[in-house]
């Protein structure tokens, strides 16, 4: 049975549990642990941010959490279900019905319009095209992109494409949304707009958010931080997460300044 914990008189229920996870790949010089140790939970309704530098293991951890890449050791559970005790088809069904995923780079079907690209996940689920398009339009309206529905995604700007990607990721009304560096290819204004959309889905629609980023500026908006470095993941513990995130940003700036001075 899933355990709940009480914090500040509010029941907190884990939605994802990562237990003793290690993931090893074969490299030229032998096996390499890309995830060395990961133990944490993602709480229902949280805005969880997984952060760390490039090459720290963020993408590998994300692939494990989303049931796409089985870890070498350990377990990953959604509520009470061990994802890797499911077969491949059951895991695909789980992803299609439970989560929405937004990537840094989107794969669009060139022959389809914006609305039909957004509707496509529902069509794959067996929903009639007419009903799928209706839901897609509603999803586009939530992110302010309904007027772009008849266009090709390739006629949109990078920021507009990411907003459409948000519509596609949430068209199936997922329990939680995973965003993998969704602002990585955007300027600051468009990046902030995507973050605001994630906050909207979290605060107004009650969706659990897992944001993977290396952008330290976004840390203060999370209510749960998971740091990963050299394959080691840990929960950042604090009563005041904003103070912790601001201190992380401060320390990062200090390191960058020191490295710049050393290079001169």
Q: Specify the pLDDT at position 112.
A: 96
Please give the Cα distance from 260 to 75 (Å, whole number).
41
**Alpha-carbon distances, residue 48 vs 94, 133, 159, 222 (angstroms):** 20, 31, 23, 6
Of 177, 224, 212, 216, residue with least CA distance to 197: 177
Q: Specify the pLDDT at position 252.
A: 66
Domains annotated for the chain, with CATH where assigned, are 5-103+177-263 (3.40.50.300)
pTM greater than the 0.75 cutoff: yes
Q: Sort 9 into a burial class: Cβ within 10 Å, 0-12 / 13-18 / 19+.
A: exposed
Write out the two tokens for 27: 């490299």
210-239 in b/e form (b: 16+ CB < 10 A) is bbbbbbbebbbbbebbbbbeebebeebeee
Strand partners, 81: 78
Please give the Cα distance from 52 to 46 (Å, whole number).
19
Using CA of residue 182, residue 184, residue 186, residue 189, what is the dihedral sign? Answer: positive
Say how many C-beta atoms besides its own lie within 10 A of residue 51's C-beta. Answer: 23
Write out the two tokens for 206: 């009650």
Question: DSSP letters of 7-27?
Answer: ETTEEE-EEEEEEEEEEEEEE
Strand partners, 17: 41, 77
Listed in sequence order, the residues at least 6 apart from 77 whose beta carbon sits closer than 8 Å to its beta carbon are 16, 17, 19, 83
Q: How much is the mean pLDDT over the chain?
A: 86
Residue 61 has pLDDT above 60, yes or no: yes
Residue 253 has pLDDT above 90, yes or no: no
Strand partners, 208: 176
- Confidence class for position 251, pLDDT limits 50, 70, 90: low
**pLDDT tens per residue, range 173-185:** 999 999 998 888 8
| Residues 122-146, mean pLDDT to the nearest whole number | 94
- Most confidently predicted of 48-57, 93-102, 143-152: 143-152
Write out the two tokens for 148: 């772009």
**pLDDT tens per residue, range 183-232:** 888 888 888 989 999 999 999 999 999 999 888 888 888 988 998 888 88
Q: Specify the pLDDT at position 8.
A: 44
């Amino acid at each position: 049975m899933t355990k709940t914990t009480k914090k500040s008189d509010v029941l907190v229920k884990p939605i994802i549990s990562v237990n003793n996870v290690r993931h090893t790949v074969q490299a030229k010089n032998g096996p390499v642990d890309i995830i060395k140790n990961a133990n944490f939970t993602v709480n229902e309704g949280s805005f969880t941010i997984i952060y760390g530098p490039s090459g720290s293991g963020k993408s590998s951890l994300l692939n494990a959490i989303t049931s796409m890449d089985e870890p070498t050791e350990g377990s990953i559970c959604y509520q009470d279900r061990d994802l890797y005790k499911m077969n491949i088809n059951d895991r695909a069904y789980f992803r299609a019905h439970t989560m929405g995923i937004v990537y840094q780079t989107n794969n669009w079907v060139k022959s389809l319009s914006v609305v039909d690209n957004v509707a496509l996940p529902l069509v794959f689920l067996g929903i009639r095209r007419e009903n799928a398009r209706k839901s897609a339009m509603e999803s586009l309206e939530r992110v302010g992109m309904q007027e772009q529905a008849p266009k090709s995604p390739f006629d949109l700007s990078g920021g507009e494409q990411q907003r459409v990607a948000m519509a596609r990721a949430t068209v199936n009304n997922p329990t939680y949304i995973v965003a993998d560096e969704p602002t990585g290819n955007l300027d600051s204004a468009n990046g902030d707009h995507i973050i605001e959309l994630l906050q909207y889905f979290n605060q107004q629609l009650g969706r659990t958010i897992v944001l993977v980023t290396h952008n330290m500026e976004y840390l203060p908006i999370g209510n749960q931080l998971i740091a990963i470095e050299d394959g080691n993941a840990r929960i950042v513990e604090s009563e005041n997460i904003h103070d912790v995130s601001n201190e992380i940003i401060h320390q990062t700036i200090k390191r960058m300044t020191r490295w710049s001075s050393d290079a001169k």
